[in-house]
Amino acid sequence: MTNLQSHFSKVALIGKIHAPGLAASAGVLEDIAQFLTDLGCKVVLEQTTAQLSGITNYPMLDVQGIGEQCDLGLVVGGDGTMLGIGRQLAPYGVPLIGINQGRLGFITDIALEGYQSVLKPMLMGEFEEDHRSLIHGKVMRDGHCVFDALAMNDVVINRGGTSGMVELRVDVDGHFVANQRADGLIIATPTGSTAYSLSAGGPLLHPSVPGWVLAPIAPHNLSNRPIVLANAVEITVEVVSGRDASANFDMQSITEMLIGDCIKLMKSQYSVRFLHPKGWSYFDTLRKKLHWNEGGS
What DSSP string runs through 180-220?
Answer: EEESEEEEE-TGGGGTHHHHTTPPP--TTS-EEEEEEES-S
Q: Which pTM value belongs to this model?
A: 0.91
- What are the start and end residues of each CATH 3.40.50.10330 domain in the chain? 4-125
Q: What DSSP letter does each residue of 128-178 carry, written as one string? A: EEEEEEEEEEEEEETTEEEEEEEESSEEEEE--TTS--EEEEEEETTEEEE
31, 79, 109, 250: which is the annotated catalytic residue? 79
What pLDDT score was predicted for residue 251?
Answer: 92
b (16+ CB within 10 A) / e for 91-124: ebebbbbbbbbbebbbbbbbebeebeebbeebbb
What pLDDT score was predicted for residue 63?
Answer: 96
Half-sphere exposure of 173 (CA within 13 A, CB side): 6
Q: How far apart are CA 245 and CA 247, in angstroms?
A: 7
Q: How far apart are CA 179 and CA 279, in angstroms?
A: 45
Q: What is the pLDDT along the chain (297 residues), one digit of tens a residue?
A: 334 454 799 999 999 866 555 555 788 999 999 999 999 999 999 999 999 888 999 999 999 999 999 999 999 998 999 999 999 999 999 999 999 986 767 888 899 998 999 999 999 999 999 999 999 999 999 999 999 999 999 999 998 776 689 999 999 999 999 999 999 999 999 999 999 999 999 999 999 999 999 999 999 988 899 999 999 999 999 999 988 899 999 999 999 999 999 999 999 999 999 999 999 999 988 998 888 876 655
Among the listed residues 17, 14, 193, the one whose alpha carbon sits nearest the alpha carbon of residue 95: 14
Q: Is 109 a catalytic residue?
A: no
Q: Return the CATH number of 134-269, one of 2.60.200.30, 2.120.10.30, 2.60.450.10, 3.30.1490.20.
A: 2.60.200.30
What pLDDT score was predicted for residue 18?
Answer: 60
What pLDDT score was predicted for residue 17?
Answer: 65
What pLDDT score was predicted for residue 6?
Answer: 42
- What are the start and end residues of each CATH 2.60.200.30 domain in the chain? 134-269
Q: How far apart are CA 156 and CA 44, in angstroms?
A: 35
What pLDDT score was predicted for residue 2?
Answer: 39
Q: How far apart are CA 132 and CA 231, in angstroms?
A: 12
What pLDDT score was predicted for residue 1?
Answer: 36
- Contacts of residue 156, Cβ cutoff 8 Å, sequence gap at least 6: 184, 185, 186, 187, 196, 217, 247, 248, 251
CATH fold of the domain at 4-125: Rossmann fold (3.40.50)
